[in-house]
Structure 1
Amino acid sequence: MKALILSLAALIFLTGCQESPTGRNRLALVPDAVLADMGQQNFEQMKQQNALITRPDVNRLVQCITEALVVAAQTEYPEAPMPQSWKVAVFDNPTPNAFALPGGKIGVHSGLLEIAENQAQLATVVGHEIAHVLADHGNERLTQELGLQAGMLLIGLFTESEIAEDQIQQALGIGAQLGITLPFSRAHEEEADLMGLGIMARAGFEPDQSVRLWQNMARASGAQPLEFLSTHPNHDTRIASLQNQLAAARSVFETVPPANCQI
């Protein structure tokens, strides 16, 4: 195991940075086929272990929105690797949430349908999840986690005292979490927000509804943890960032036919 982690560390140093679809430097070294298999297995397991919404009208709505966004994503980010197929499921879960897995698997919680007041607000979240997949954020997070483990292992190898090793690893774990893992996760969220905004506008969903959706989320969630201790931007930061990009998104929205997924 140590040899594997050290080999990965060497590979990270030798490979250098890649670019995300927005031009952000990143490392994503896990083979796509491996991640796609992991995503498929986890998605099937989640569907077996959690109740699904079977109402045809709800599933048609979510499927229609997803299909429109995927087509728009191909236009907006033609160079980004695109899964061969996309699957979406609606889970019977009251939390207003959604998630994306590598390989084009998207889950939507029924609680999100209560928060989203219209199809454009629902498209805000689904577009955000599609952006996570296109930007390969799952790969980047896994590469990052393996890199942190390699760093901790290297410190352990060169530390003679077991007590010192424990203390250093605990300190590095805290430092790594606050200094690396969480900020990168916020960077992923911010990138997915802005990519998702462009995708929903290209698909014909009113981009201003993205801000209204997060305002609804803010009212529903109440107090949030301090931003530097959270993997997600706080609502005010997220809303301000989206508002700064609305003019560009509106200019795209005005050139395409309005989406129509009302079923």
Structure 2
Amino acid sequence: MDWLQIVLLSLVQGLTEFLPISSSAHLILVPVFTDWPDQGLAFDVALHLGSLAAVVIYFRHELVAMVTSWCRSIAGHGTDDDARLAWWVILATTPVGLAGLAFKDTIEAVMRSPLVLAGGLIVFGVVLGVADWRHRGTRSEYRMSWRDALWIGLAQALALIPGTSRSGITMTAALMLGLTREAAARFSFLLSIPVIILAGGLETLDLLETPLPVAWGDLAAGTLLSGISAYLCIHFFLAFIRRIGMQPFVVYRLLLGVALIWLFG
């Protein structure tokens, strides 16, 4: 891998992992529009590690409170808002974990074409636009019920379809359930932690089965760049949607989807 490939893939992963525009679509499209060889599983794991570090560092105070309260609830000392939020993250992660184990190979084999990406970008982009325009409410992530968490988790399972966007579909479901834009985004970011761990774990298992020489410098650079760009993305995205909302991302998804249909249809 040359440095241009390392930098571009790292920025694409870091920026699109948390934006509602589908990171999988952009990572699939990079080799479509370049003649670069596949970056390999080790580099994919490094990029996920960078994104994971970014979201954990950004939400470190919330995570400490959630884990502490969750452990107290397990020990029978009552359940407060932080413990409930931790339980809701676990509950909402379960559907995508089960669906990923059941359908991962099928999806990778038959659903990674540019036209499938275009369909996912357009259809779920329109749904996001409607949710942001008409259905957002006033509740925070701490005012969710277990039913809300389950519905968001079921929606997250749809993100296995390339082009859907995990962050986009979870924010869409949260907005439709009456959460504010910021609350929808924050819960989506918290949900990314177990999802990235699961995805990175599966990739690591695949990597262990195909031992190859490791370019540690490339991996370190990818992890660092992905982490920095992801952290900045989270910070500025939360400020951006507070003032402007989701509509610019909806427009981008529609334009990218139409462009893919024009190029590959």
Higher strand share: 1
Structure number with bigger Rg: 1
Q: Same fold (TM over 0.5)?
A: no
Higher helix share: 2
TM normalised by structure 1 equals 0.29
TM normalised by structure 2 equals 0.29
Which is bigger in relative contact order (C-alpha 8 A, separation at least 6)? Answer: 2
